[in-house]
Amino acid sequence: GAVVSQHPSRVICKSGTSVKIECRSLDFQATTMFWYRQFPKQSLMLMATSNEGSKATYEQGVEKDKFLINHASLTLSTLTVTSAHPEDSSFYICSAAAGGRADTQYFGPGTRLTVL
Amino acid sequence: KQEVTQIPAALSVPEGENLVLNCSFTDSAIYNLQWFRQDPGKGLTSLLLIQSSQREQTSGRLNASLDKSSGRSTLYIAASQPGDSATYLCAGGAVLGGRTNAGKSTFGDGTTLTVKP
């Protein structure tokens, strides 16, 4: 149980295009989902916290207009990188937690984004 | 603000050796502490989770301990194997108020382990 999937696993795009990454909780309802970013040889940094049905809360320094997060259902959150640039190339990982009880975050496998 | 530190940043050991990876955190009000493994270019694999009310968890050759009072956690790997070579990350989970008790995690920078045959 407690499986989180991400799609796509890898994406290569041209500079200026937008890319959407999906995060799904497959066997549980996730009231809260988190999006992390990992640059090469660095650790994971939280980008934003997403609660179902409400606006995401972004960490300091993360542009909300560039990284659009939608958490429309209890099993799906999407991250859209708008007008991607090479510096956005990174490993994006989501995690999901069931609400109502203090819980563990279950992490997705990650999406590697390369912007040419 | 929670800060998580992992020492050492890199560790190389011969096969068969027992080893300890260290993780320290500044805010003792963590809800849980997780240890993850990450292979190069791959995602995270959860290894062990210790809830704040627990002191240790074991899975196979792995044992993780948690001492909230001192702000430390350790990951003990017994009889290391070349397949254990990876980066090991620890993450402290915080408690958020409001709508949900699920909190965000703060990650350390990881310890890159190399086990030589």
pLDDT per residue as tens digits for the range A35-85? 999 988 788 899 999 888 888 999 989 999 999 999 889 899 999 999 999
Q: Which residue of chain B comes nearest to A90, CA vs CA?
A: B41
Which has more pLDDT, B11 or A105?
B11
Cβ–Cβ under 8 Å, residues B111 and B6? yes
Residue B32 carries which side chain, given as an amino acid letter? N
Closest alpha carbon to A36 in A27, A45, A23, A28:
A45
Other CB atoms within 10 A of residue B22 CB? 15
Output the pLDDT for position A72: 82
Q: Which residues of B touch A42 (CB under 8 A)?
A: 109
Taking 80 as the threshold, does the pLDDT of residue A101 lie above it? no
pLDDT in tens, B77-114: 999 999 999 999 999 887 655 444 456 788 999 999 99
Output the pLDDT for position B101: 44
Q: Which of B32, B43, B89 sits opposite A43 (nearest CB)?
A: B89
Instruction: Give the model's confidence band at B64: pLDDT under 50 very low, under 70 low, under 90 confident, else very high.
Output: very high
Taking 60 as the threshold, does the pLDDT of residue B18 lie above it? yes
Q: What is the DSSP letter of B112?
A: E
Q: Which residue of chain B comes nearest to A58, CA vs CA?
A: B104
Taking 80 as the threshold, does the pLDDT of residue A19 lie above it? yes
Residue B113 carries which side chain, given as an amino acid letter? L
Cβ–Cβ under 8 Å, residues B104 and B96? yes
Chain A, 53-72: which have a CB under 8 Å from a chain B CB? Answer: none
Report the gap between the CA of B31 and the closest CA in chain A (Å). 8
Output the pLDDT for position B97: 57
Output the pLDDT for position B99: 45
Taking 80 as the threshold, does the pLDDT of residue A100 lie above it? no
Report the gap between the CA of B106 and the closest CA in chain A (Å). 8
Residue B56 carries which side chain, given as an amino acid letter? E
Neighbouring-strand partners of residue B59 = B62
Q: Are A108 and B100 in contact (CB < 8 Å)?
A: no
pLDDT in tens, B27-39: 878 888 999 999 9
Neighbouring-strand partners of residue A49 = A34, A57
Q: Which run of H or of E encompasses B92?
A: strand B86-93
Q: Which residues of B touch A89 (CB under 8 A)?
A: none
